[in-house]
């Protein structure tokens, strides 16, 4: 048996999220089917996180234990040959014994992508939230975003119905950058509550549109109440950008 680490990119538009489901197309389901075709094995995948329906990934990390003797290079080539064009295995690498993509993850980086021009987005239209109500103030959003950085109770930013035992997380970095009509909110943290990045995005949009000042973010966190924050931004703008592990 050997352990492998897969780096998987996907356009989540056509999928009901990462996690396998009986009646809906999922990334895990498509990847498991491809794996079975190439190796003959039913895989037991671990993933760095379960992305929701419509959410994209540049580098979802997937762990798998296998008896296959195919080289990483052959495996990648074979998987990509049978996967649909909206899922790509970017890398296959040997992983340490016992590697588990969920538990071993140290930090994850998500990017929330907005388009705030008056004309619709084009080439990135499947990967952005088109904000139609005028230019967002990205400087104000950046100032608001800084207040999320640090170790906080993020219970105000999680969707109801979540069952995580603790709602304290550490955000090590948050930046807001603009290129033309495109605005990216990039967030790195040691873990994220359910819908947390999308709620951070929706909350920063409240600041960007001028309905709240940057200082309001401190109130949102202090309230420890979901209704204190802004709305949950739509899934289509969210991309899992990278995951850090202690070991390669």
Q: 196 or 239: whose CB is closer to a second copy?
A: 239
Is residue 52 among the annotated active site residues?
yes
Strand segments, DSSP code E, in the chain are 2-10, 46-47, 56-66, 87-95, 105-115, 129-130, 150-153, 168-179, 182-189, 238-245
Reported as type and span, the H/E element at residue 166 is none
User: Using the rule CB under 8 A, is 161 a contact of a second copy?
Assistant: no
Does 121 sit near a second copy (CB under 8 A)? Answer: yes
Q: Which residues are annotated as a binding site for substrate?
A: 110
Segment contacting a second copy by CB under 8 A, of 17-25, 87-95, 140-148, 154-162: 87-95
Please report the DSSP string for 43-105 in residue order. Answer: ---EES--PPTT-EEEEEEEEEEE-----HHHHHHHHHHHS-TTEEEEEEEEE-TT--TTTTE
> Among 11, 52, 104, 138, which one carries the catalytic annotation?
52
Q: Interaction with a second copy in 1-40: which residues (CB under 8 A)?
A: 9-11
What is the Cα 59 distance to its own chain's centre?
9
Per CB under 8 A, 89 contacts a second copy: yes
133 makes contact with a second copy (CB under 8 A): no
Binding segment toward a second copy, per CB under 8 A, in 19-27, 61-69, 121-129, 217-225: 121-129
Burial 78-117 (b: 16+ CB within 10 A, else e): bbeeebeebbbbeebeebeeebebeebbebbbbbbbbbbe
Q: Which of 19, 33, 66, 80 binds a second copy (CB under 8 A)?
A: 80
Nearer to a second copy, 29 or 117 (CB): 117
- Say how many residues make up the chain: 248
Among 122, 133, 160, 248, binds a second copy (CB under 8 A): 122
**Candidate ranges 82-90, 102-110, 159-167, 183-191; the one touching a second copy (CB under 8 A):** 82-90
Binding site for a second copy (CB under 8 A): 9-11, 56, 58, 73, 76-77, 80, 85-86, 88-91, 118-125, 127
Q: Which are the catalytic amino acids? A: 52
């Amino acid at each position: 048996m050997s352990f492998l680490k897969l780096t998987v990119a996907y356009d989540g538009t056509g999928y009901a999220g990462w996690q396998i489901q009986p009646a809906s197309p999922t990334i895990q389901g498509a990847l498991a089917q491809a794996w079975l075709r190439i190796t003959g094995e039913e895989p037991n995948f671990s993933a760095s996180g379960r992305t929701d329906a419509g959410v994209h990934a540049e580098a979802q990390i997937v762990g798998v234990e296998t008896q296959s003797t195919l080289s990483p290079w052959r495996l990648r080539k074979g998987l990509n040959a049978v996967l649909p064009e909206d899922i790509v295995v970017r890398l296959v690498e040997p992983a340490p014994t016992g590697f588990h993509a969920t538990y071993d993850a140290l930090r994850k980086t998500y990017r929330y992508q907005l388009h705030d021009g008056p004309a619709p987005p084009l080439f990135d239209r499947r990967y952005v939230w088109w904000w139609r109500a005028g230019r967002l103030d990205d400087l104000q959003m950046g100032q608001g975003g800084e207040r999320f950085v640090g170790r906080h109770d993020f219970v105000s930013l999680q969707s109801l119905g979540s069952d995580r035992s603790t709602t304290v997380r550490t955000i090590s970095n948050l930046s807001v950058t603009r290129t033309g009509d495109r605005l990216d909110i990039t967030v790195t943290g040691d873990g994220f509550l359910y819908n947390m990045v999308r709620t951070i995005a929706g909350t920063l949009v409240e600041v960007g549109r001028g309905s709240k000042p940057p200082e309001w973010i401190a109130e949102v966190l202090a309230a420890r109440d979901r209704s204190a924050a802004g709305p949950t931004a739509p899934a289509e703008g969210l991309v899992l950008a990278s995951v850090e592990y202690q070991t390669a």
